[in-house]
Structure 1
Amino acid sequence: MEFLLGNPYSTPVGHCIERATDGSLQSEDWTLNMEICDIINETEDGPKDAIRAVKKRLNGNRNYREVMLALTVLETCVKNCGHRFHALVTSRDFVDGVLVKIISPKNNPPTIVQDKVLALIQAWADAFRSSPDLTGVVQIYEELKRKGIEFPMSELETLSPIHTPQRVASAPEGDSTLHKYATTTPQPTPQPTPQAVPPAYTAPQVPNIHASGSINPTAEQICRLRSELDIVRGNTKVMSEMLTEMVPGQEDASDYELLQELNRTCRAMQQRIMELISCVSNEAVTEELLHVNDDLNNIFLRHERLGTRIQMQMETHLLEGKSVHVQTHLYIDIVLYMGADSVSSTLSSLASCKPPPAQDDDFDVFAQTRTGALSEPPRDEGEEGVTSEEFDKFLEERAKAAEMAPSLPSPPSGEVGAAQGTPSRKKTGRPEDALLAM
Structure 2
Amino acid sequence: MLGSPTSWLQVSPLESLVTRACDPSLPEPNYALHLEVADYINKKKANTPRDAAMLIARLANHRNPHIGMLALALLDTLVQSCGYPFHLQIGTKEFLNELVRRFPERPPPFPGPVMQRILDLIHAWKEGICATSRWKEDLGNIRDMHRLLTFKGYRFRELPRNNNQSLASASNIKSAEELEAEDREAQQAKLQELIRRGTPRDLAAAQELMKALAGANPDARPDYRSQALNELNKLEQKVILMNEMLDNVDRERGEKFVAGDVYDQVASILVGARPRIQKWISDAETDDPESLDTYLQINDQINNVLARYEAYKKGDY
Question: How high is the TM-score relative to the length of structure 2?
Answer: 0.46
Higher RCO by CA contacts (8 Å cutoff, separation 6 or greater): 2
Question: How high is the TM-score relative to the length of structure 1?
Answer: 0.34
